[in-house]
Chains A and B, each alone.
Chain A
Amino acid sequence: MSSIRIKAKDRKGLVDVKCLMKHNMETGLRKDKSGKKIPEHWIQDVTAEANGKVVFAAAFNTSISKDPYLAFAYAGAKGDTLKISWKDNTGATDSAETKVK
């Protein structure tokens, strides 16, 4: 299952998008039980595309909370295919798609 949950709703031509990405967002400052630093591990880039066109893009620092939440709104319509993808500092990626309601 994708790590990304998307809710996208058309409100009179403006699509409200809310998404939650499951990710630990390790700051690199935390220590584990043995006192060793947990290496930083965080989502750096998030891109949202509607029908293949980029409608929003963000870059994160480690100061974005665990399981990052992002909300924005773009000019679109019900039925749009909305794809959201992320890439973290280890190079891992994930994406999810939904139809705008």
Chain B
Amino acid sequence: MDRRGVLKVAGAVTAAATALVALPRVAFAAYSEKAFKQKAGADALQNAFGANATTPSDQVKLKAPDIAENGAVVPVEVQTDMEAESIAILIKENPSPLAITAEIPAGTKALVKTRCRMGKTTQVTAVVKSGGKLYTASKEVKVTIGGCGG
């Protein structure tokens, strides 16, 4: 948990990236403050993927509930059959919308499942980067507050 540990991980990541030189399309992206601290989804995408023009596509499969059981833990799943380089999830109404970016090296399935926080009812967008272009699927997730459970 010390600084040396950090360096070690950084080293491992660099080594891994080097090993993947044979696969030039994998740009190994670590956390980027420029992308994740943006207030607008388009700016976040621009900084994460170098592009912000998106095309809705029914090939992008986004699974998220219509009504969240609890806004603190909302299961979200993104999947596609396209050749994907990266996958991202945007939660429009959160203070900074970009929730996660995932790198999909060759041989890895274009699939990500995680659990997100949503402060209020919001549009959720799955973004798939394929062939340098961004494809999306969106849906609204209702977040209710108040009640016996919430």
- Judged by CB atoms under 8 Å, the answer to whether A and B touch is yes
Binding site for B on A (CB under 8 A): 14, 18, 27, 29, 44-45, 47, 49, 52-66, 68-75, 85, 87, 91-95
Top 10 closest A-B pairs, CB basis?
A: A44-B31, A71-B113, A75-B107, A54-B16, A59-B31, A73-B109, A65-B115, A74-B108, A58-B102, A63-B99
- In angstroms, how far is the closest chain A Cβ from the Cβ of B145? 15
Closest to A74 in B: B108
B108 x A75 contact (CB < 8 A)? yes
B114 x A87 contact (CB < 8 A)? no
Closest to B94 in A: A63
Residue B40 lies at the interface, judged by CB distance under 8 Å to chain A = no
What CA separation (Å) do A93 and B31 show in the bound complex? 14
B36 x A73 contact (CB < 8 A)? no
**Interface SS, B side:** mixed
B111 x A68 contact (CB < 8 A)? no
- In angstroms, how far is the closest chain A Cβ from the Cβ of B57? 21
Q: A55-B107, A63-B91, A71-B112 are in contact. Are A93 and B9 (CB under 8 A)?
A: yes
A56 x B36 contact (CB < 8 A)? no
Q: A54-B28, A59-B32 are in contact. Are A65 and B103 (CB under 8 A)?
A: no
A92 x B5 contact (CB < 8 A)? yes
Binding site for A on B (CB under 8 A): 1, 3, 5-6, 8-10, 12-13, 16-17, 19-20, 28-32, 36, 72-74, 91, 94-96, 98-105, 107-109, 111-118
- In angstroms, how far is the closest chain A Cβ from the Cβ of B82? 16
Closest to A65 in B: B115
B117 x A93 contact (CB < 8 A)? no
A55 x B12 contact (CB < 8 A)? no
- In angstroms, how far is the closest chain B Cβ from the Cβ of A4? 13
Closest to B102 in A: A58
A-B contact pairs, 30 of them (CB 8 A): A14-B109, A18-B113, A45-B31, A47-B16, A49-B16, A54-B17, A58-B103, A59-B32, A61-B36, A61-B96, A62-B96, A63-B99, A63-B118, A64-B116, A65-B74, A65-B114, A69-B115, A70-B112, A71-B114, A72-B111, A72-B112, A73-B108, A73-B111, A75-B109, A85-B9, A87-B9, A91-B3, A91-B5, A93-B5, A93-B6
Closest to A69 in B: B115
Chain A residues with Cβ below 8 Å from B96 are 61-63
